């Protein structure tokens, strides 16, 4: 009897405990607000607790709550979160989530590697372009053009497909770090970016974030202007995809298809995208064609591990356009291709149709494997192992007797492998630690060969030490052919034939403290970079390798900052940093001149010091950011244009250059009406050289010949303005939804205080200011049962007013006393380029 009484008593206690713990049952179905389709895998959490569940494959959920009244928070990747009240047992019915593609809801694999500003409490100067904006506004332009409505960013369109350039706070893109899912993608040799190699990145981008200045990157990188993080698709929670067709000016057409299986019950997911584009190009004779492919395989075997394999590439070819005198464009129109084929039979050239100024051919597939490990509630490890193999050439027509004879290829191939890893530990409620490593192995392969025989079947060649020989094989002008059949025969190369091995290793660490109102961080990184150059063409025998001495350059960076929340809507912050950046490989060797000799004196590390302060205003209707910055770039090296005197090749290098960039940026985001977004920005900069530089001249062998070739070693730079980008920019953009899913948008940009790019010379010219107006129209039509599918239409018109403006000028020839020889105060003998006139595109997208 006693045991029975004890058993009943325990049962009553357990039952009473269960009643106390489970005070109510909440049920409901989570659906897409636009498509009215279920969202499997959405998170449902009782607010203020860790009590939560996920919706099933029909979007349904059942949550046992711990109180009789309270709130639940429902979130899903790519959608705005919803908070709902409950009392006791509640059936919430259909709960609609609205897509917003906000960064904090994107599925990010390798999240500890991808340094987004949201990953750190201490504020920075940052702007984010989300997937919906990318989809609408990207059109048929490169990534830089998409970013032109963010503070201190200017896009220069250049000539052919993929030849665009970007400036950030007055620094060109070789001095801005670009990351693809945490993987560095700037050229290892010279920091350059060739957007033709990344023409498909916007097709698969979830977001692009521009971090100006010091940024939030934890990698052992030291960019001068800032960091651009490109976050691509990896895993989609639910099954779906799209088909899209785009047409545009100058017979441009692009077809894209994407499909994702979503995450199945065993944790697997598969995504794939394929695309093809082609067009004639805005500038005359700049035809182009290419493909895009993207494959992603995700696997989540348990709650603690997530794996993803990603492969993407954009094989392409496009004809190039060169700069020319301003007068040549005024005489022939801004579509004029200024490449000069003096003496070439024009009929022969037109029949060829392949090399009006040279053809860029490239294929650069990129693959990476990511692993996210949740070690415990407080620590995690993210690792990305990546590799890329670039194969391509710039094919240029060679003439003889007024006829095309063959296409000479200047090949720039590479093999690049690396690993980035980051360990995160929440040491306490207020203290967070990040440590990691960044390792890269790069092999650059450079040579000239025959891409295609046109009217001859062989080419005579001579190397410096190996005598004469003949080239009889052609490498091809198709990017797929170039990739799968690279020219590896040294006996079929001429002009130059060399390789470099660049190995990089760095470790970094960051400690951040946060409480309710204050945050502070300190970050440091050390790195070493080694360089070896190997000569083939001018070695003692064809095929033999002569190796240079190994050069090791250490570098480091430190940065820190603090932020303070005045209240829920107002924050202030300050950041400071110092970088000791290793010189580019191209500053150390006379690369394509056939010498393994180091340039003497050897270039030393550049020194970058940055200070910034900011204020952030947050709110539902109005948000604003104000940033002040001061960046000193000291001991900079500038490689001048090369020249040839007789048979001697001479290059010029200017060292000890100092630039100071300072400015203020204002960014304003408002929502005066539920269906109206109105944003604006103003950037005011003052960028100039401080002090003079020191010029050195080198011959073919890398010997210093300054005393015989230079009248003075001083480069007069002190007080000159830094050219290339506008020092004053402003813009206003707006989007108005006048009917459900039917909207119109526009953005106006103004550029002032532009100066010509003088390199290491003096006397920069002030260029005329200009402004552009772009507009677009979007409509989404719901289709299918329960509106589960949709059809989207989009029209973009760029430079609506067809403004004629100088986008870039190289030179410093002063205005002529004869007004007919000037255009808006600029001497028309200077070299430059005009921006594009009015262009357009139209796309139709079926979502399923």
Per-residue pLDDT of 513-534, as tens digits, reads: 999 899 999 999 999 999 999 9
- Report which listed range, 267-271, 356-360, 617-621, is most confident: 267-271
Query: What pLDDT is attached to residue 344?
Result: 41
Query: What pLDDT is attached to residue 161?
Result: 87
- d(Cα 133, Cα 98) in Å, to the nearest integer? 15
Among 403, 783, 447, which Cα is nearest to 594's? Answer: 447
- d(Cα 494, Cα 506) in Å, to the nearest integer? 37
Does position 17 have pLDDT exceeding 60, yes or no? no
Give me the DSSP letters along 479-520: HHHHHHS----GGG-EEEEEEEEEEEEEEEEEEEEE-SSEEE
Calculate mean pLDDT across residues 390-399: 89
Query: Which residues fall within 8 angstroms of residue 460, CB to CB, at 6 or more apart?
Result: 468, 469, 470, 471
Q: CA distances (Å), 67 to each of 15, 21, 84, 86, 304, in order?
A: 16, 7, 14, 10, 29
pLDDT band at 12 (very low <50, low <70, confident <90, very high): very low
Calculate mean pLDDT across residues 455-476: 85
Number of H helices, E strands in the chain: 7, 52
Does position 646 have pLDDT exceeding 60, yes or no? no
Query: What pLDDT is attached to residue 810?
Result: 87
Predicted TM-score of the model (pTM): 0.84
- d(Cα 615, Cα 603) in Å, to the nearest integer? 39
pLDDT band at 101 (very low <50, low <70, confident <90, very high): very low
Beta-bridge partner residues of 383: 371, 421
Please state, as a whole number, how many other Cβ atoms lie within 10 Å of the Cβ of residue 265.
Answer: 8
Calculate mean pLDDT across residues 486-490: 89
Beta-bridge partner residues of 616: 571, 625
- d(Cα 185, Cα 174) in Å, to the nearest integer? 11
Of 183-187, 638-642, 659-663, minimum mean pLDDT range:
638-642
Does position 499 have pLDDT exceeding 90, yes or no? yes
- d(Cα 523, Cα 557) in Å, to the nearest integer? 8
Query: What pLDDT is attached to residue 116?
Result: 67
- 3-class DSSP assignment, residue 847: strand
Q: Are 579 and 222 in contact (CB under 8 A)?
A: yes
Whether the bond between 601 and the residue before it is cis, its omega within 30 degrees of 0, is: yes
Query: What pLDDT is attached to residue 400?
Result: 80
pLDDT tens-place string over residues 531-571: 999 998 888 776 678 899 899 999 999 999 999 999 888 99
Which is it for strands 494-514 and 518-535: parallel, antiparallel or unpaired? antiparallel
Tell me the two tokens of residue 526: 């050390």
Angle at 820 between CA 814 and CA 826, to 5 degrees: 30
- d(Cα 55, Cα 28) in Å, to the nearest integer? 9
List of long-range contacts for 328-331, beta carbons under 8 Å, 24+ apart: 329/832, 329/833, 329/834, 330/823, 330/828
Does position 352 have pLDDT exceeding 60, yes or no? no
- d(Cα 476, Cα 395) in Å, to the nearest integer? 9
pLDDT band at 417 (very low <50, low <70, confident <90, very high): very high
Q: Pick the residue with more confidence: 196 or 445?
A: 445
- d(Cα 689, Cα 638) in Å, to the nearest integer? 13
For each of the domains in the chain, give its residue range(s) and CATH number, in order of start: 2-97 (2.60.40.10), 103-232 (2.170.130.10), 240-847 (2.40.170.20)
Does position 20 have pLDDT exceeding 50, yes or no? no
Buried-exposed string 760-794: b where 16+ CB fall within 10 A, e elsewhere = bbeebbebeebbbbbbbbbebebeeeeebbbbbeb
pLDDT tens-place string over residues 726-779: 999 999 999 999 898 899 999 999 999 999 988 666 788 999 999 999 999 999
Residue found by looking up tokens 């100066």 in the block = 755
Q: In whole angstroms, how large is the CA radius of gyration of the chain?
A: 29
- d(Cα 295, Cα 206) in Å, to the nearest integer? 15
Buried-exposed string 61-81: b where 16+ CB fall within 10 A, e elsewhere = bebebebeebebebbbbbbeb
Query: What pLDDT is attached to residue 341?
Result: 46
- d(Cα 607, Cα 383) in Å, to the nearest integer? 30
Length of the chain: 848
Does position 123 have pLDDT exceeding 70, yes or no? yes
- d(Cα 399, Cα 350) in Å, to the nearest integer? 14
Tell me the two tokens of residue 358: 């040279």
- d(Cα 41, Cα 56) in Å, to the nearest integer? 6
Calculate mean pLDDT across residues 812-819: 92
Tell me the two tokens of residue 721: 């303005």
For residue 189, the 8-state DSSP code is: T
Calculate mean pLDDT across residues 244-265: 93
Element (H, E) at 20: helix 2-21
- Report which listed range, 24-28, 250-254, 394-398, is most confident: 250-254
Q: Are 538 and 577 in contact (CB under 8 A)?
A: no
Among 228, 78, 218, which Cα is nearest to 152's? Answer: 228
Sheet arrangement for strand 60-65: 60-65, 24-32, 90-97
Calculate mean pLDDT across residues 253-275: 92
Q: Are 63 and 52 in contact (CB under 8 A)?
A: yes
Query: What pLDDT is attached to residue 464?
Result: 64
Calculate mean pLDDT across residues 812-828: 93
Residue found by looking up tokens 């945050």 in the block = 519
Query: What pLDDT is attached to residue 35?
Result: 55
Of 464-468, 507-511, 583-587, 823-827, minimum mean pLDDT range:
464-468
Calculate mean pLDDT across residues 21-35: 75
Could you tell me where the beta strands, DSSP code E, fall in 354-430? 359-363, 366-374, 379-400, 403-426
Of 262-276, 462-476, 669-683, minimum mean pLDDT range:
462-476
- 3-class DSSP assignment, residue 211: strand
Calculate mean pLDDT across residues 602-613: 92
Query: What pLDDT is attached to residue 480?
Result: 93
Of 219-233, 349-363, 478-492, 687-701, minimum mean pLDDT range:
349-363
Q: Are 826 and 809 in contact (CB under 8 A)?
A: yes
Query: What pLDDT is attached to residue 94?
Result: 86
pLDDT tens-place string over residues 172-213: 998 898 988 888 899 899 888 988 888 878 888 888 888 898
Q: CA distances (Å), 346 to each of 160, 282, 324, 332, in order?
A: 21, 21, 19, 17
Output the average pLDDT for the chain. 85
Query: Which residues fall within 8 angstroms of residue 637, CB to CB, at 6 or more apart?
Result: 583, 587, 603, 606, 653, 654, 655, 657
Q: What percent of the chain has pLDDT over 90?
A: 47
The number of C-alpha atoms within 13 Å of 301 and in the hemisphere containing its C-beta is 5
């Amino acid at each position: 009897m006693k045991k029975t009484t004890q058993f009943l008593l325990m049962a009553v206690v357990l039952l009473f405990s269960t009643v106390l713990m489970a005070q109510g049952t909440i049920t409901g179905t989570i659906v897409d607000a636009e498509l009215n389709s279920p969202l499997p895998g959405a998170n449902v959490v009782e607010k203020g607790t860790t009590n939560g569940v996920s919706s099933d494959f029909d979007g349904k959920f059942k949550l046992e709550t711990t109180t009789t009244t309270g709130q639940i928070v429902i979130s899903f990747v790519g959608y705005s979160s919803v908070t709902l009240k409950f009392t006791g047992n509640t059936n919430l019915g259909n709960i609609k989530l609205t897509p917003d593609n906000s960064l904090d809801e994107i599925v990010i694999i390798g999240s500890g590697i991808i340094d987004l500003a949201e990953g750190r409490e201490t504020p920075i100067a940052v702007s984010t372009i989300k997937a919906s904006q990318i989809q609408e506004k990207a059109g048929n332009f490169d990534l830089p053009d998409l970013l032109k409505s963010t503070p201190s960013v200017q896009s220069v369109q250049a000539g052919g497909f993929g030849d665009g350039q970007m400036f950030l706070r007055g620094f060109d893109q070789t001095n801005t770090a670009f990351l693809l899912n945490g993987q560095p993608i700037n050229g290892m040799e010279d920091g350059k970016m060739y957007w033709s190699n990344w023409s498909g990145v916007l097709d698969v981008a979830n977001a692009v974030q521009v971090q100006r200045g010091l940024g939030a990157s934890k990698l052992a990188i030291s960019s001068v202007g800032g960091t651009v993080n490109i976050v691509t698709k990896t895993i989609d929670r639910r099954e779906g995809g799209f088909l899209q067709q785009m047409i545009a000016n100058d017979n441009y057409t692009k077809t894209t298809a994407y499909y994702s299986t979503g995450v199945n019950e065993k944790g697997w997911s598969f995504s794939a995208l394929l695309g093809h584009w082609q067009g004639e190009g805005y500038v005359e004779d700049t035809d182009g064609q290419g493909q895009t492919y993207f494959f992603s395989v995700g696997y989540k075997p348990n709650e603690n591990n997530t794996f993803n394999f990603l492969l993407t590439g954009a094989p392409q070819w496009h004809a190039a356009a060169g700069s020319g005198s301003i007068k040549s464009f005024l005489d022939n129109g801004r579509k004029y291709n200024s490449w000069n084929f003096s003496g070439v039979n024009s009929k022969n050239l037109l029949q060829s149709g392949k090399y009006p100024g040279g053809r860029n051919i490239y294929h650069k597939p990129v693959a990476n494997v990511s692993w996210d490990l949740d070690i415990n509630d407080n620590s995690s490890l993210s690792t990305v192992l990546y590799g890329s193999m670039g194969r391509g050439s710039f094919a240029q027509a060679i003439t003889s007797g007024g006829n095309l004879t063959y296409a000479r290829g200047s090949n720039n191939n590479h093999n690049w492998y690396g690993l980035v890893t980051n360990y995160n530990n929440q040491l306490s409620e207020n203290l967070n630690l990040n440590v990691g490593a960044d390792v890269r192995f790069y092999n650059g392969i450079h040579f000239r060969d025959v891409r295609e025989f046109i009217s001859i079947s062989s080419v005579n060649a001579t190397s410096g030490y190996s005598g004469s020989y003949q080239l009889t094989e052609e490498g091809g002008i198709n990017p797929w052919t170039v990739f799968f059949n690279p020219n590896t025969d040294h006996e079929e190369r001429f002009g130059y034939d060399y390789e470099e091995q660049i190995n990089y290793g760095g470790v970094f660490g960051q400690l951040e403290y946060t409480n309710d109102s204050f945050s502070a961080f300190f970050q440091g990184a050390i790195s070493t970079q080694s360089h070896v150059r190997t000569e083939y063409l001018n070695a003692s025998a064809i095929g033999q390798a002569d190796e240079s001495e190994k050069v090791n350059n250490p570098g480091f960076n430190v940065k820190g900052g603090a932020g303070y929340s005045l209240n829920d809507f107002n924050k202030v912050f300050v950041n400071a940093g110092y970088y000791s950046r290793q010189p580019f490989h191209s500053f150390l060797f006379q690369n394509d001149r056939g010498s393994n000799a180091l340039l003497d004196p050897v270039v030393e590390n550049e020194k970058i010091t940055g200070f910034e302060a900011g204020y952030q205003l947050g709110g539902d209707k109005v948000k604003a950011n104000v940033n002040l910055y001061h960046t000193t770039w000291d001991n900079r090296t500038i490689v001048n244009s090369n020249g040839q005197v007789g048979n001697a090749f001479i290059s010029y290098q200017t060292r000890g250059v100092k630039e100071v960039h300072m400015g203020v940026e204002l960014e304003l985001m408002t929502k005066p009406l539920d269906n109206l977004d109105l944003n604006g920005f103003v950037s005011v900069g003052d960028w100039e050289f401080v002090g003079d530089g020191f010029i050195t001249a080198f011959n073919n062998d890398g010997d210093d010949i300054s005393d015989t070739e230079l009248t003075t070693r001083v480069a007069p730079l002190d007080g000159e303005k830094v050219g290339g980008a506008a020092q004053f920019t402003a813009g206003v953009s707006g989007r108005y939804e006048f009917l459900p899913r039917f909207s119109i948008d526009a953005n106006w940009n103004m550029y002032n205080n532009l100066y010509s790019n003088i390199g290491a010379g003096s006397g920069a010219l002030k260029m005329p200011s200009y402004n552009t107006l772009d507009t677009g129209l979007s409509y989404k039509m719901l289709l299918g049962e329960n509106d589960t599918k949709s059809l989207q239409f989009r029209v973009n018109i760029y430079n609506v007013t067809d403004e004629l403006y100088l986008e870039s000028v190289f030179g410093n020839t002063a205005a002529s006393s004869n007004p007919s020889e000037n255009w808006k105060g600029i001497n028309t003998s200077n070299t430059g380029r005009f921006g594009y006139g009015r262009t357009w595109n139209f796309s139709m997208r079926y979502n399923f």
